[in-house]
Chains A and B, each alone.
Chain A
Amino acid sequence: MSRFSKSILVLALVGASTATFAFDSFKGVGRPATSAEVKAWDIDVRPDFKGLPKGSGNVERGNELFEEKCASCHGSFGESNEVFTPLAGGTTADDIKTGRVKGLSSGELPQRTTFTKVSTISTVFDYIQRAMPWTAPKSLKPDEVYAILAYLLNLQEIVPGDFTLSDKNIGDVQKLLPNRNGMTTDHGMWPGASAKKGGIGNGGKPDTDNKACMKNCKPEVLIGSTLPEYARTAHGELAEQYRSFGPVRGTRTLGPEAAKKAAEATTMELATKSGCMACHGMKSKIVGPGYNEVMTRYAGQPDAEGKLVAKVKAGGAGAWGSIPMPPNGHLADEDIKTLVKWILSGAK
């Protein structure tokens, strides 16, 4: 408790020092925001649904939109673990009743999905609206956000297939979220007022209590875990991640052939950095076709390079299945050319 009051005192002193700046106003600095400006940027939706736009969308429409705009990363059923952690799955009908996802404590859950964690439906609406789709954030209209969310809720078996989600009934859906009772704020890591004082948490009380023992602190040293052999080499040549002089050297983990591999990996890195590897594999289909499949199909075609560069840039659908490739306007032309040449020459 004394710790807490001391920090308050320190904060008060810091506060006092900035108060010396207190002019009545910073004349000539800043201007009133217009209501149109506030409307354009103030898009957040709170747990009490303040900020929620009016609108509606049904599961069927959501299914179409999801396939078109979301499935390339998240999989058709929000189940994909290829690019991001899965959105859907992992909850039961019983969880919907209790509001606690049982798999989180029983250890039965192989991986947490968005709906095994989230306790506020506003969070999902807010995030789809502000940040999705990945390459064209803020392009969805409110009705589209409702529809996509309706589809996700249906995947999670929270709402039926003929459901229409709207600003009118989203509050009822909140009461069905499988992990709605799954959060706790009973901890000491909130830096503001405690729950007792109208804020959050226990007021900064830590949950561990180590003692600064100095001599003969324990009878023996228990090693809980050591570095697995695969992890020793998974991060590349450690000798090349430290200076070549000084008190120590980086440990040689791979050997000289590593340098050769690294050179070959440069274009691969560009492909990874550009986000291509999220959907394409070298040989076979992940979400989009494998590079070697692309090479085979375009082999011998006139201006294969030009055609592919245009496709990468603008995106497209139909050539390899129903899942479209998003446009890649964010990549430099030179980089796209490098990648296309690499693919056509048998990327490896």
Chain B
Amino acid sequence: MGDIVNKPGRLRPAPENFLSEEQVKAVAAGRRDFLRKSFLAAGAAIAAPLAARASEGDPAILTLPEWSTSLGQPVATRPYGMPSKYESQLLRRESPGLARVGGASVSFCPLQGLFGIITPSGLHFERHHQGWHDIDPSRHRLMINGSDDSLLKKPKVYTMDELMRLPSVSRIHFIECGANTGLEWGNVAVPTVQYTHGMLSCSEFTGVPLKLLLEDCGVDYKKARYVLAEGADGSSMTRTIPMEMVESGEVFVAYGMNGEMLRPENGYPLRLVVPGVQGVSWVKWLRRIEVGDQPYATKDEAVHYIDLQPNGLHRQYTSIQEAKSVITTPSGGQTLLDKGFYNVSGVAWSGRGKIKQVDVSFDGGINWQTARIEGPVQNKALTRFNIAWVWDGKPAILQSRAIDETGFVQPTYGQLRKVRGTKSIYHNNAIQSWKVVESGEITNVQVL
């Protein structure tokens, strides 16, 4: 297999950018040189002179490419820059069969191809409850009122012009859907990290602490212990948020995301940021905040986003995303090109604060090594980890295990199911396992 694709830059280009199933099988069966033969045949047929020169060195070096021998494009050819045409395969994708209607569905973020901790805005995962709109910011309003007059002195209305005049904060936070990895509660169901963990993104958000707005309206913190956030879309989605989080200054109404305005799919022009809490509470297209003296039992906290336990009770108002991690490279649905060195890389996060440590196992959890964390580590944000691995060509099972600053250690599937069974749908933060076989193919497995 080393002979197959290891050759770009080492004198023989690969014929294809992937291994076919047959190739994988052939390699697995020990026929490691079969592709070399097919290459030579193909090369001879297509370009004999090139093949001849290949013996002197790499044609990518010896024959100057057109980008070295012609004039490039002028500035502002693309006034809003786009990724390279060679990056077209990393896209938000739906999981077939998950939802029947695109307006109430999910598109998953391609974690398998991302670096660092910031999600490119165009690849941020989507979850809409009744479709998305591109709202005219000049007609968008934020209303703040109380469930009765005694909780808030002055109900007020703010325009975007006004909100953007107020003191702002910029903070990096992860956002994860409560149902992320929900397809996997009972058994392995999906092939890649995009579908197992892709309802996860991380951005720098900019906006105004909700606390400032509530105080501007004369909130009575003694009586008003809950906040209802409401969207301006068709579903006008609502969720209850504890006032303790608002008072801490953590919760803010955001208009900025990664240096520009929010994308329409992510709530343009205004969304709530509730760090560490599941995405459904980060209400998009935010139109109204109500302060109240009791929780609201909205549809998404009384019919959905409730966690069924083995005793038949549903856990209600589960909100925090507990510590979790996943290896993104290499991961399920990928094939290793060769034996030898790999940088194993992934992300860890916790809704209870900072990530303190990430351990990685290559033998299915018998032995663990501590990975290198890329700092600075942010509060309630994705944290990138890396660890060196030399693959010897033998079967392996890769796992990562996050530990957050509270000392909480990410659980195994066995531990999680022992308490919560397999029908919870929400809040699956179990240790993910990727199995590597001799052919280099990696698949999703669950280790108990």
Give chain A's interface residues, CB within 8 Å of chain B: 3, 6-7, 10-12, 14-15, 17-18, 21-22, 25-26, 29-33, 37-38, 41-44, 46-48, 50-51, 82-84, 100-102, 104-106, 112, 114, 117-120, 122-124, 126-127, 130-131, 134, 137-138, 182-193, 198-201, 204, 206-218, 221-228, 231-232, 234-236, 238-253, 255, 272-275, 277-278, 330
Q: A225, B187: Cβ atoms under 8 Å?
A: yes
Tell me which of A47, A105, A232, A252 has the highest count of chain B C-beta atoms within 10 A of its own C-beta.
A252
Shortest distance in angstroms between B371's beta carbon and chain A's nearest beta carbon?
Answer: 12
Alpha-carbon gap, A236 to B419, bound state (A): 35
B215 x A251 contact (CB < 8 A): no
- Cβ-neighbour of A235 out of B95, B287, B342, B359 (below 8 A): B95
Contact B320 A204 (CB under 8 A): yes
Provide the residues of chain A in CB contact with B336, threshold 8 Å: 247-248
Q: Which chain A residue shows the least CB distance to B418? A: A208
For this complex, 20 residue pairs linking A to B, each with C-beta atoms less than 8 Å apart, are A21-B209, A44-B230, A44-B296, A84-B104, A117-B302, A123-B302, A126-B298, A127-B298, A182-B314, A200-B295, A209-B409, A211-B409, A215-B368, A225-B187, A231-B189, A235-B195, A239-B17, A242-B113, A243-B86, A248-B335
In the complex, which residues of chain B have a beta carbon less than 8 angstroms from the beta carbon of A117? 302-303, 306, 314
How distant is A154 from chain B, measured CB to nearest CB, in Å? 19
Q: Report which residue of B243, B276, B364 has the largest number of chain A beta carbons within 10 angstroms of its beta carbon.
A: B364
**Given A200-B295, A217-B368, A273-B102, is A227 in contact with B235 using a C-beta cutoff of 8 Å?**
no
What string of 1s and 0s marks CB contacts (under 8 Å) between B236-249 and chain A? 11100111110111
Judged by DSSP, the binding face of A is loop
Are A46 and B296 touching (Cβ within 8 A)? Answer: yes
A227-B312 contact given A207-B419, A211-B409, A249-B5, CB 8 Å threshold = no
**Contacts A206-B322, A248-B335; A29 near B165 (Cβ below 8 A):** yes
Instruction: State which residues 211-247 of B face A: CB under 8 Å.
Output: 211-213, 215-217, 225-226, 228, 230, 234-238, 241-245, 247
Q: Are B112 and A241 in contact (CB under 8 A)?
A: yes
Q: B288 contacts which of A25, A42, A127, A217 (Cβ < 8 Å)?
A: A42
In contact, B242 and A206 (Cβ under 8 angstroms): no
Q: Judge if B271 is at the interface, Cβ distance under 8 Å.
A: no
Q: Is the CB of B299 within 8 A of A126?
A: yes
Bound CA span A153–B162, Å? 45
Known: A222-B447, A252-B18. A217 touches B367 (CB 8 A): yes
B158/A239 in contact, CB under 8 A: no
A234–B276 CB distance below 8 A: no
> Residue-by-residue, is B176-203 near A (CB-CB < 8 Å gives 1, otherwise 0)?
0000000000011111101100000000
Interface size class of B (residues with CB under 8 A): 35 or more
A74 to B241, CA, bound (A): 31
Nearest opposing residue in chain A for B413, CB measure: A224
Give the contact stretch, choosing among B33-41, B259-267, B400-408.
B400-408
Q: Measured between alpha carbons, how far is A340 from B59 in the docked complex, in Å?
A: 51
Q: Is the CB of B243 within 8 A of A192?
A: yes
Q: Contacts A119-B316, A207-B419, A208-B415 known; list 20 others, CB within 8 Å.
A: A3-B408, A32-B155, A37-B143, A46-B294, A104-B312, A119-B314, A120-B297, A124-B303, A130-B236, A185-B316, A187-B318, A199-B225, A214-B367, A221-B366, A221-B397, A241-B110, A241-B194, A243-B113, A250-B18, A275-B101
Binary interface encoding of chain B residues 334-357 relative to chain A, with 1 for a CB under 8 A from any of its CBs, else 0: 111100001100000001110001
| Residues in B whose Cβ lies below 8 Å from that of A244 | 17-18, 86, 89
- Which chain A residue shows the least CB distance to B194? A241
Q: Per a CB cutoff under 8 Å, which of A199, A225, A227, A228 touches B244?
A: A199
| Stretch in B42-50, B68-76, B120-128, B325-333 touching the partner | B325-333
Q: Which residue of A lies closest to B361 (CB)?
A: A217
Q: Contact partner of A238 among B156, B158, B191, B411, CB < 8 A?
A: B191
Q: Does A217 lie within 8 Å of B334, measured CB to CB? A: no
B170 interface contact, C-beta 8 A: no
Partner of A31, one of B157, B303, B314: B157
Checking A22, A82, A114, A138 against B215 with a beta-carbon cut-off of 8 angstroms, the contacting residue is A22
Residues of the A chain whose Cβ atoms lie less than 8 Å from the Cβ of B96:
234-236
| CA distance in complex: A45, B211 (Å) | 24
The answer to whether A47 and B297 touch across the interface, beta carbons within 8 angstroms, is: yes
With contacts A7-B406, A251-B19, A251-B333 taken as known, whether A123 is within 8 angstroms of B446 at the C-beta atoms is: no
B52 part of interface (Cβ distance < 8 Å): no
Cα distance A30–B190 in the bound complex, in angstroms: 48
List A contacts of B241 (CB < 8 A).
192
Could you mark each residue 159-182 of chain B with 1 if its beta carbon is under 8 Å from any beta carbon of chain A, else 0?
000100111010000000000000
B204 within 8 A of A: no
Nearest A-chain residue to B323, judged by Cβ: A206
From B18, B353, B359, B406, A239 is in contact (CB under 8 Å) with B18
Question: A241 and B312: CB pair below 8 A?
Answer: no
CB distance from A331 to the nearest CB of B (A): 11
Q: Which residue of A lies closest to B236 (CB)?
A: A130
**What are the residues of chain A within 8 A of B247 when measuring CB–CB?**
11, 15
Residue of A46, A207, A211 near B297 (CB, 8 A) is A46
Q: A58 CB to closest chain B CB, in angstroms?
A: 24
In the complex, which residues of chain A have a beta carbon less than 8 angstroms from the beta carbon of B299? Answer: 123-124, 126-127, 131
Nearest to B148 among chain A residues (CB) is: A50
Complex CA gap A224/B188 in Å reads 9
User: How far, in angstroms, from A207 to B421 measured CA to CA in the complex?
Assistant: 12
B119 beta carbon closer than 8 Å to chain A? no
**Residues of B with C-beta under 8 A to A255:** 20-21
C-alpha spacing A239/B14, complex, angstroms: 15
* Neighbour of A44 across the interface among B112, B290, B332, B342, CB < 8 A: B290
Query: What residues of chain A lie closer than 8 Å to B295, measured between beta carbons?
Result: 47, 200
Contacts of A188 in B (CB 8 A): 320
* A15 contacts B249, C-beta separation under 8 Å: yes
Closest B residue to A251 by beta carbon equals B335
Q: Tell me which residues across on chain A come within 8 A of B97, comparing CB atoms.
A: 234
**A245–B334 Cα gap in the complex (Å)?**
12
- Complex CA distance for A284 and B89, rounded to whole angstroms: 35
Q: Knowing A190-B320, A241-B110, A249-B18 touch, does A232 contact B191 (C-beta < 8 A)?
A: yes
Chain B residues contacting A12 (CB-CB under 8 Å) are: 248
Cα A142 to Cα B230 in complex, Å, equals: 20
Residue of A with least CB distance to B426: A189
**Chain B positions within 8 Å of A226 at CB level:** 188, 435, 443-446
| Residues of chain B with a CB closer than 8 A to A192's CB | 225-226, 241-245
Q: Which residues of A contact B276 (CB under 8 A)?
A: 191
Bound Cα distance A240, B367 (Å): 34
Asked, given contacts A114-B303, A221-B397, A243-B113, whether A29 binds B230 with beta carbons under 8 Å apart, the answer is: no
